Amino acid sequence: MIHAVIVGDQRQIMIPDLTELRPGKRQLRGVRLIHTHLKGEPLSQDDLTDLALLRLDFIAALTINTDGMPGAAFLAHLLPPGPSGEIYEVHPPQQIHQIDFELTPFLKELEAEFDRQQNQTLETSQQDRAILISASKKHRLDQETSMDELAELARSASITPIDRVMQRPKKLHPKYLLGEGKLKEVVMQAMQQHAELLIFDQNLSPLQIRMIGEVTEMKVLDRTQLILDIFAQRAVTREAKVQVELAQLRYRLPRLSERSTALSRLTGGIGGRGPGETRLEIDRRRARDRIARLEQEHELLAGARKQRRHKRTQNEIPIVSIVGYTNAGKSTLLNQLTDSQVQTENLLFATLDTATRRIRFPEEREIILTDTVGFIQSLPPELLGAFRSTLDELSDAHLLIHLADISSVRLEQQIKTVEKILIDLELSETPVLLVLNKIDQVDEETQQILLNRYHATGTSALDKKSLLPLLETIKHYFWTEVEG
């Protein structure tokens, strides 16, 4: 069936939007594109990009002889992923009447092969497969360490990163972040490797999210959305859930976009305010209503938290709060010091709530120890805002234990990040004890160098004995002066 006849000029044709022509989960779109090349030229790179990105069944270019009769025909089709890494096959030119290529059975087989491979990949990994992308003007090393962290974040969100694309452009593209050509390359790569998700290490503007989504027809996440996703997966208590959803809605609201005009025309007037309201307006209004409701609930929960805090501060028992980069071992330390069972995991953002326990020292002395959500570089402000009431507890602390992972290659950067966030949280007045954890992971010499460099106490939260110096320091801090 001829779906459309498109008339262009000698330079280009404009292919209409084909998104609605995607029957179910088929690998090929069911559209064959036959067009003319007036100067007898073979298929161009643009043609082949269209073939791949639009998932055309095939693309053909017909040339015209000087007598007006059809000349050679160029034909190309997609290839299932194979060892060669080729995405498409371009056939040698043939006179149109000489083509003896049975298209329909061939395409059927091709489609079946795509399906088979797709199913295989799905079996080997139940998780989302993603390509990680970074376009930044930072130093290469910073860009790389940030990408390493993005990969860890992805893993923490149960996503499998299968490839990385790094670009250091002179100018970041306002619509696509990457150059448009590069972005198309990435999509072809994604198709070849059965990735359905693109994750950007940079935060994308509302315009970029929309444009990249339109060009690639893939799921697109940026760093903040990924972090919010992890938080959403982890939230257990009602308060954490409310806080995360609020942060997500606040981040999404300006990014809600008109997907399809056809859809908005259909929904206008049904259940909406009245005729003329678009899908987008409905979505925005729903999001705003939900935000208002969650804010109310959040206020109630925050009130209850305040009362609990009030009681605690009235006790005049010293409060020590453990802060630090995510995965530094904060919860493990709390558990070890207080014989408790707060959940610990080798994942980013294992803890989202505050846990409070007591440590008893001899002579009836005790302190209250709290553990809370970890920090990370470029912590989304939406998140910091939503977790304000949780983080506000930190302002009750008489002493902060800043726990850092001595074995991390990003140690210095992580310490600086935490210090900066403490300033943002207006905690620069609270005394801080820097503790380097996981000393079991580095050799003796490195350990000594780093402990000296940072004037820090060392611990291995897995080993109770190693915590004695830290306990001594805490005891000393609160009680020595009194004893005089």
Ligand X SMILES: Nc1nc2c(ncn2[C@@H]2O[C@H](COP(=O)(O)OP(=O)(O)OP(=O)(O)O)[C@@H](O)[C@H]2O)c(=O)[nH]1
C-alpha to C-alpha distance for 361 and 475, rounded to whole angstroms:
8
Q: Residue of minimal CB distance from ligand X?
A: 374
Rounded to the nearest whole angstrom, what is the least distance from the CB of residue 327 to Mg ion in the complex?
Answer: 8
Closest CB to ligand X among residues 224, 326: 326
Rounded to the nearest whole angstrom, what is the least distance from the CB of residue 346 to Mg ion in the complex?
Answer: 11
Q: Which residues contact 455 (CB under 8 A, 6 or more apart)?
A: 434
Segment near ligand X (CB under 6 A); pick from 121-129, 168-176, 268-276, 435-443? 435-443
What are the strands of the beta sheet with 365-371, ordered from one edge? 355-361, 365-371, 319-324, 399-405, 432-437, 457-458
From ligand X, Mg ion, none, interface partner of 132 (C-beta below 5 to 8 A by class): none
Closest CB to ligand X among residues 77, 402: 402
Closest CB to ligand X among residues 161, 324: 324
The tokens of 251 are what?
């981040």
**Is residue 458 part of the contact set for ligand X (CB under 6 A)?**
no
Closest CB to ligand X among residues 318, 374: 374
Compute φ and ψ for 198, nearest 5 degrees.
Answer: -110, 130
Q: Say what angle helices 223-234 and 140-156 make with each other, to 10 degrees.
A: 30
**Burial class of 321 by CB neighbour count within 10 A (0 to 12, 13 to 18, 19+):** buried
Residue 222 DSSP class: E
From Mg ion, ligand X, none, interface partner of 318 (C-beta below 5 to 8 A by class): none
Contact in structure between 450 and 411 (CB atoms under 8 Å):
yes
Rounded to the nearest whole angstrom, what is the least distance from the CB of residue 318 to ligand X in the complex?
Answer: 22
Q: Say what angle helices 238-252 and 223-234 make with each other, to 10 degrees.
A: 160
From ligand X, Mg ion, none, interface partner of 216 (C-beta below 5 to 8 A by class): none
* Residues touching ligand X, count (CB under 6 A): 23
Q: Which residues contact 207 (CB under 8 A, 6 or more apart)?
A: 174, 175
Rounded to whole angstroms, the maximal C-alpha distance in the chain is 109
Q: Residue of minimal CB distance from Mg ion?
A: 351
Tell me, letter by letter, the H, E, C secondary structure of 236-249: CCHHHHHHHHHHHH
Residue type, 470: L
**Is residue 350 part of the contact set for ligand X (CB under 6 A)?**
yes
Residue 14 DSSP class: P
Among 348, 434, 450, 470, binds ligand X (CB under 6 A): 348
Pairing of β 128-135 and β 94-95:
unpaired
Task: Look at residue 332 and give its three-state secondary structure.
Answer: helix
**Is residue 390 part of the contact set for ligand X (CB under 6 A)?**
no
Rounded to the nearest whole angstrom, what is the least distance from the CB of residue 264 to ligand X in the complex?
Answer: 41
**Is residue 344 part of the contact set for ligand X (CB under 6 A)?**
yes
Among 81, 161, 374, 458, binds ligand X (CB under 6 A): 374
Residue 33 DSSP class: E
Q: Between residue 72 and residue 101, which ones bind ligand X under the rule CB under 6 A?
A: none
Among 327, 354, 377, 414, binds ligand X (CB under 6 A): 327
**Is residue 234 part of the contact set for ligand X (CB under 6 A)?**
no
Among 55, 77, 309, 330, binds ligand X (CB under 6 A): 330
**Is residue 349 part of the contact set for ligand X (CB under 6 A)?**
yes
**Is residue 351 part of the contact set for ligand X (CB under 6 A)?**
yes
**Is residue 460 part of the contact set for ligand X (CB under 6 A)?**
yes
**Is residue 446 part of the contact set for ligand X (CB under 6 A)?**
no
**Is residue 384 part of the contact set for ligand X (CB under 6 A)?**
no
C-alpha to C-alpha distance for 421 and 375, rounded to whole angstroms:
8
**Is residue 346 part of the contact set for ligand X (CB under 6 A)?**
yes
Rounded to the nearest whole angstrom, what is the least distance from the CB of residue 356 to ligand X in the complex?
Answer: 14
Rounded to the nearest whole angstrom, what is the least distance from the CB of residue 331 to ligand X in the complex?
Answer: 3
Segment near ligand X (CB under 6 A); pick from 102-110, 195-203, 296-304, 436-444? 436-444
Among 17, 299, 345, 426, binds ligand X (CB under 6 A): 345
From ligand X, Mg ion, none, interface partner of 438 (C-beta below 5 to 8 A by class): ligand X
**Is residue 329 part of the contact set for ligand X (CB under 6 A)?**
yes
**Is residue 340 part of the contact set for ligand X (CB under 6 A)?**
no
Closest CB to Mg ion among residues 159, 350: 350
Q: Which sign, positive or negative, has the C-alpha torsion 157, 160, 165, 166? A: positive
DSSP letters for 385-452: HHTHHHHHGGGG-SEEEEEEETT-TTHHHHHHHHHHHHHHTT-TTS-EEEEEE-GGGS-HHHHHHHHH
Q: For the chain, what is the radius of gyration of the CA atoms?
A: 29
Binding site for ligand X (CB under 6 A): 324, 326-332, 344-346, 348-351, 374, 437-438, 440-441, 460-462
